Chains A and B, each alone.
Chain A
Amino acid sequence: MRFEALRETLLKGGVAPRHVRRYVGELSEHLDDLVKQQQALGYDGEDATLRARALLGEDRELAAAMLEQKRFRSLPARAPWLFFGLLPPVVGIAAGFLLIGSLALTAHLRGMTTPGHINAPEWFRTLTFAVTGLGNVALAPLLAATFVFLATRQRIIWLWPLLAILLLVLMDLHFQAHFPAPGQRGGSLGLGAVTWVLHPQSWAETWRLSLARLLLTCLPAFWLFRNRMIVS
């Protein structure tokens, strides 16, 4: 691929991938124009390409011109502590609320709720258990994979995505749904976090699910180390 070394230098320098993509794209188009210019001057083949590449500038100069523009740096590069240290719990909680909120809103709009009671039909119970079950297993691992992907794409040092994974693991975000037995009152939809600290006894009941979630959440990190795709 053209300008691969330059692309790597810019990404490692913290330039946002979209700016790198555009810069490299424009440089490629410019190089094509320069090759045509050199061919028009009578140079051909390899000679025209070499002259065009020299006219475009050395990789060092091209990289320096972009790197000195601090405003092109990505948020993860500028403030990794914010992106990988604060965003994982915030995004996790926001996604959890969105999921639970959607179910609660559906129940409310369909007239299933009265104060202190959910009178849910079978289809809503099935839907709720499916959604919360999937959320319990997949939300944290998906978030972990996303943060690892973003870190890899932007050549961020491996410690930061590892911090994001650690926070997601410690948060142990999970959903709870409870529907009353026929004829009884009650029922709840909820989002739980760090219950292993707040209610350690509950971990004894749910340790299988928690362990599965923990392993799945850590999977992107194992994958990264295995593929040596992280920047040290």
Chain B
Amino acid sequence: MASDSSLSAGLSELMVLRLLQDQEMYGYEIVQAIAARTRQVLTPGEGVIYPLLHALEKDGALKSRRKTVAGRSRIYYSLNARGVKKLAAMTDHWDALTGAVGAVLHAV
């Protein structure tokens, strides 16, 4: 069974991939987007998002580029083909998992 930390790491990974599917974002934007979309239920440690992003990039799921917007230079991340596949696989796994847990929790 997955430990709490690996479960939350997996969740963060899933959410990051899903957010980057729509548009390229930088770290701060990603953290704000997760907090906003989960209505502050999930608030990942702000700084610890970067090792996750770097790991996903090393895995080939993300690519990054430095971009200057409004005078601020930042590293933007976006999904690539391997990331799309990984997101699909993780989403399927998550759906199966939530379905299974729901079946237990709501069983009469």
User: Which residues between 59 and 73 of chain B lie within 8 Å of chain A, taking CB atoms?
Assistant: 72-73
Contact of B54 among A30, A55, A57, A72 (CB under 8 A): A72
Q: Decide yes or no whether A56 CB sits under 8 A from chain B.
A: yes
CB–CB A71/B58 < 8 A: yes
CB–CB A72/B51 < 8 A: yes
Complex Cα gap A210–B54 (Å): 47
**A106 shortest CB reach to chain B, Å:** 42
Q: Provide the main secondary structure of the chain A interface.
A: helix
For the A-B complex, the count of residue pairs with Cβ-Cβ distances under 8 Å equals 59
CB–CB A23/B28 < 8 A: no
CB–CB A69/B51 < 8 A: yes
Q: Decide yes or no whether B48 CB sits under 8 A from chain A.
A: yes
Chain B residues, Cβ within 8 Å of A19: 54
Complex Cα gap A68–B50 (Å): 13
Complex Cα gap A27–B47 (Å): 6
Q: Decide yes or no whether B11 CB sits under 8 A from chain A.
A: no
If A55-B46, A57-B47, A61-B48 touch, whether A69 touches B28 (CB-CB below 8 Å) is: no
Q: Decide yes or no whether B75 CB sits under 8 A from chain A.
A: yes
Interface string of A1-31 (1 = CB under 8 A from B): 0000000000000000001001100110110
Contact of B46 among A22, A30, A32, A69 (CB under 8 A): A30
If A22-B54, A23-B54, A69-B51 touch, whether A30 touches B45 (CB-CB below 8 Å) is: no
CB–CB B51/A30 < 8 A: no
**A73 shortest CB reach to chain B, Å:** 12
Q: Decide yes or no whether A204 CB sits under 8 A from chain B.
A: no
CB–CB B46/A71 < 8 A: no
